[in-house]
Structure 1
Amino acid sequence: MVGEQGTGGNQAPYAAGLRTPAREYDGVALPVEGTLPPWLSGTLLRNGPACFEVGDRSFRHWFDGQAMIHRFHVAAAGDASGDADGDATGVTYTNRYLATPARTAALANGRITYGEFATDPCRSIFQRLFTLFTPPPPSGNTNVNIVQFGERTLALTETPLPVEFDPGTLETVGVQDYEDHLGAPVTTAHPHLEPGRGHLVNYSVRFARTCRYLIHRQRAESSALREVVAEKQVTHPSYMHSFAITPSYAVLVEFPYRVNPLALLLSGRPFIENYRWQPDDPTRITLLSLTDGTVAGEYEAPAMFAFHHINAYEEDGADGTVVLDLCAYPDPEIVQALYLDRLRSGGPVPQALPTRLRVDRRTGRVTVTRLSDEPLELPRIDYRRHNGHPYRYTYGVGSRDHGGGDFFDQLVKLDVSSGETLTWHEPGGYPGEPVFVAAPKDTGGDAGEDSGVILSVVLDSAAQSSYLLVLDAVSFTELARARVPQPVPFGFHGVFSRG
């Protein structure tokens, strides 16, 4: 069975990042080594899976663990060696599980009740037949991303009901429902702020005899209503964890990792195990107009797979070239590599390479080039200033072993214009997604695109604990770290807010 191999007794050195944490903390002051920039005051929120078992049964995949939010509040003023309490200098840490439908049911029933990405609840034959006619509600296990939109802070996953929480206390406010009825049960945890407008744009899939991709927009003043902007018919939808956006287009990159919608109803397999890799098919790129909803162009590239887009932008206006940068794999073997038994036992982890797709709208040609030979995943940019526009720098996690013999053990800064890279690595350290925080204009420093800091949560495998790492984004050298009294489970995405 997929994901059941590699269950030997050996544990990878980073396995502590894939275990349920011992406890929740509430505003504990962290010891800080080094000096935080005096302008760095605000809150880093991180989202990710944390509880990996319910009763005597474990979840099968890293993506399936129950959602936990981690809060690092930073109050910097010169030397950051002091404690943090309220507005005092230093760093405090809070972690709390989201009270999602999946977690609430698990605590009440003592078993896995909802289906997840690669874990299916144990159901009787009668229950399986019943779900053919009455599909179960989504689990609400929003363990992937965090978006601050309007007055709300939302945790997101690939089902369409975000969970709102209080960014100060991390208390769950509740599931956000919608006033519309799109009938689309799969979406992405990576909506975009529409360049130049600030509306939230996302894509969803409606499954039927003829399926549809839907591009929809949420306005801050009516955030419970999704307006369909564009749509496209498709027979066998692709698995797309994210998409790209430019001022003119929503861009869908359909990898040949596809599903027959009937399989989702009839197979009895977990969600992702219904998708099939079709290496002889092309990757299809579709430009959907954000203005009039038309399909503005369809193009083909060689077969590949990716979880994350880095950025996209237009050259020479909407009718010229569209540039798409993503973290590309040759195939979706990475999905199998992230099953917990394989990952905890140190199985090989395929590496993504930063890759550029140039779509020439005049000729219809797609040119594929590698931006660097340095692996890069969980990419971040200066999103506020460069989302949907030309940019120079991206930051991500990578592996010093380009053959995939280790997990993410270094941070990478890539200059996409030159291909030059800088890396940060510490023996036994396993960093998470790097979040770029731009320095204020009045700090007197370099005003370049990379003027600021990088924040990452790093597992120290030797000490069996984690720490918040602060790097200077220009030189990629360490400024400070603040140690957490236990390992922080590996997460996915987060957000930094000032104040």
Structure 2
Amino acid sequence: MTTSTQSTFTTGLRTLDRERVVDALPVSGELPHWLNGSLIRNGPAAFDWRDGSFRHWFDGQAMLHRFELDNGRVGYRNRYVDTPSSRSVRSDGRIAYSEFATDPCQSLFSRFFTQFRRVAVPNPNVNVQLGGEHAVALTELPLPVEFDPETLETLRVSGYQDSLRGNVTTAHPHADPTTGDLVNYLLRFGRTSAYQVYRQAGGNRRELIGTVPTDRPGYLHSFAVTEHHVVLMIFPLVVNPLSFLLRNQPFIANYRWRPELGTRIVVLDSRTGAIRTDTSTEPLFSFHHINAFEEGDTVVLDLSQYHDATIVDALYLDRLRAGEGIPPARPVRHRVELDSGRVRSTRLSEEPLELPTIDYRRRNGRPYRYTYGVGADRGAAELADFFNQLVKLDTRTGRTIVWREPGTYPGEPVFVPAPNATEEDEGVALSVVLDPAADRSLLVVLDARSFGELARAEVPHPIPFGFHGQFTRAR
């Protein structure tokens, strides 16, 4: 890796200190007349403090970014999520709370097992959930943080009025394709741990759907739903919960790669909670499910899939800032026969694809054709420097279309369907793209069908690499 490469994509791992409001960004090209609403993105933005740095990309303190699109105008604002953790880093110049891979003194989970309760300090830097009464920022602690979707002001940590208790959840809840209820799981660590799958019909009360016990909980960043099922893929990156007490290490450092366990696939009936199948396949790892759907008595499950869990270590900041490459994720389809438990797997494309999105409102949990994500053109190298292109995949044909601008690094493409769209890819894809040479980021708008660029808006500073976001139409 050359020095010039190291000095480019690592701009996306630089702390962003400034919060600002810009009424109108410079726009080139032509935005669709119907594209009015807000794109809110979430991700880490504070990686360093007075005496050191966090260890992992996932540890950076959460910042929200809002792009307001209004009849050709693009406004922008950004704001840190105001939590005790971010205040200790940004105001006091110290790390006071444990993160995914960084611990100031002892493990957060060690304190939990010692005190029999957990001091709740979320760093909600992964995703956002918009709509309804509240907007919330999410992480893998079961503690959503409410914020004002207009000003991005932090309001409060949101609690629940139910008896469910657990330690870890996902920042990727799903809308049930049939009822619209929010579905997620809550992992409770113990002598026998359990994934508690629940639904949330409204408000802050959760209702248990079903429970999946496990002796060795795996690290699951996401899961999948279909019209009648909830699917958990438990990868063999697993933990003995006693390790949180005995090893005195940050959260993810307690997990171990155990390929001999294979990958457990559990399919639950989303109405009754009954387990339809509990089977296994080859060892693999994934952060993100693309989508899932049913074909008769078979569940079709698509993943952005890695060969193993080395991607977790590849995202430590010292390795990324040194310019080391990242292994690729590729789209893989798993067909799970519910009666026999048989699993058949097929790679959908050789083109790397990560941070996948779909036409979520119309296709989540249902048959679909197109997905959009970030990719990595490796050139002649074995590993890519970072995500450096956008990819559209036709899951039926395996055909891909790539958008790439040399020297830039795009983020998750959010698909926005056109009003009254009749075709699945009739709409646009929105991506925040880092341009290190210009020391700024761009909001790039692509035609989702051709994957050609329609317009871009220039942000006056670089936005650190983020994770996920959502678009809401103007009312």
Q: Same-fold call, TM > 0.5?
A: yes
Deviation of 1:226 after TM superposition, in Å, equals 1.1
Contact 1:259 1:276 (C-alpha < 8 Å) held by counterparts: yes
For 1:186 and 1:129, how far apart are their aligned partners in 2? 15
For 1:399 and 1:334, how far apart are their aligned partners in 2? 14
- Give runs of aligned pairs for residues 264-275 of structure 1, distance below 5 A: 264-275=244-255
In the alignment of these two chains, the number of paired residues is 470
SS state of the match for residue 368, structure 2?
coil
SS state of the match for residue 68, structure 1?
strand
Deviation of 1:110 after TM superposition, in Å, equals 3.3
For 2:181 and 2:189, how far apart are their aligned partners in 1? 26
Deviation of 1:10 after TM superposition, in Å, equals 8.4
Contact 2:50 2:94 (C-alpha < 8 Å) held by counterparts: yes
Contact 1:202 1:217 (C-alpha < 8 Å) held by counterparts: yes
Name the stretch that deviates more: 107-116 or 200-209.
107-116
Contact 1:10 1:345 (C-alpha < 8 Å) held by counterparts: no
Report the equivalent of 1:90.
73
- State whether structure 2 residue 96 is matched by structure 1 residue 150: no
Name the stretch that deviates more: 360-369 or 383-392.
360-369
- Give runs of aligned pairs for residues 386-401 of structure 1, distance below 5 A: 386-401=363-378
CA 1:283–1:429: 2 relative to 1, 3 Å: same
- State whether structure 2 residue 468 is matched by structure 1 residue 485: no
- State whether structure 2 residue 11 is matched by structure 1 residue 16: yes
Q: Deviations over 1:300-331 (max 9, x none)?
A: 11000000000000112xxx110000000010
Give the TM-score, by structure 1 length: 0.91
Contact 1:412 1:421 (C-alpha < 8 Å) held by counterparts: yes
Deviation of 1:131 after TM superposition, in Å, equals 6.3
Q: Deviations over 1:389-443 (max 9, x none)?
A: 00000000001117323200000000001100000000111000000000011xx
For 1:423 and 1:473, how far apart are their aligned partners in 2? 11
Report the equivalent of 1:62.
57
Contact 2:110 2:245 (C-alpha < 8 Å) held by counterparts: no
Report the equivalent of 2:286.
306
Deviation of 1:288 after TM superposition, in Å, equals 1.2
Q: CA RMSD in A?
A: 1.9
For 1:273 and 1:9, how far apart are their aligned partners in 2? 32
For 1:356 and 1:407, how far apart are their aligned partners in 2? 24
**Equivalent position amino acid for 1:350 in 2:** P
CA 1:280–1:345: 2 relative to 1, 3 Å: same
Deviation of 1:225 after TM superposition, in Å, equals 1.0
Deviation of 1:206 after TM superposition, in Å, equals 0.4
- State whether structure 2 residue 272 is matched by structure 1 residue 287: no
CA 1:473–1:122: 2 relative to 1, 3 Å: same
Deviation of 1:139 after TM superposition, in Å, equals 2.4
Q: Deviations over 1:275-320 (max 9, x none)?
A: 000112211100111111111111111000000000000112xxx1
For 2:409 and 2:5, how far apart are their aligned partners in 1? 18
CA 1:13–1:105: 2 relative to 1, 3 Å: closer
SS state of the match for residue 378, structure 1?
strand
For 1:107 and 1:379, how far apart are their aligned partners in 2? 32
SS state of the match for residue 264, structure 1?
helix
Contact 1:113 1:121 (C-alpha < 8 Å) held by counterparts: yes
SS state of the match for residue 462, structure 1?
helix
For 1:128 and 1:203, how far apart are their aligned partners in 2? 22
For 2:342 and 2:274, how far apart are their aligned partners in 1? 20
Match of 2:339 among 362, 382, 394: 362
Deviation of 1:138 after TM superposition, in Å, equals 3.3
Deviation of 1:130 after TM superposition, in Å, equals 8.8
For 2:41 and 2:159, how far apart are their aligned partners in 1? 23
Contact 1:9 1:345 (C-alpha < 8 Å) held by counterparts: no
- State whether structure 2 residue 103 is matched by structure 1 residue 132: no
Match of 1:346 among 286, 298, 323: 323
Q: Deviations over 1:131-189 (max 9, x none)?
A: 62355423210000001242111100000000010110011111001112422010000
Report the equivalent of 1:121.
104
Q: Deviations over 1:219-244 (max 9, x none)?
A: 12xx2111111101110100000000
Match of 1:463 among 429, 435, 438: 438
For 1:204 and 1:492, how far apart are their aligned partners in 2? 21
For 2:440 and 2:5, how far apart are their aligned partners in 1? 20
Deviation of 1:12 after TM superposition, in Å, equals 4.2
Contact 1:42 1:496 (C-alpha < 8 Å) held by counterparts: yes
Contact 2:110 2:244 (C-alpha < 8 Å) held by counterparts: no
Deviation of 1:490 after TM superposition, in Å, equals 0.6
- State whether structure 2 residue 398 is matched by structure 1 residue 419: yes
Report the equivalent of 2:208.
228
Deviation of 1:14 after TM superposition, in Å, equals 0.6
Deviation of 1:363 after TM superposition, in Å, equals 3.0
Report the equivalent of 1:325.
302
Contact 2:277 2:339 (C-alpha < 8 Å) held by counterparts: no
**Equivalent position amino acid for 1:498 in 2:** R
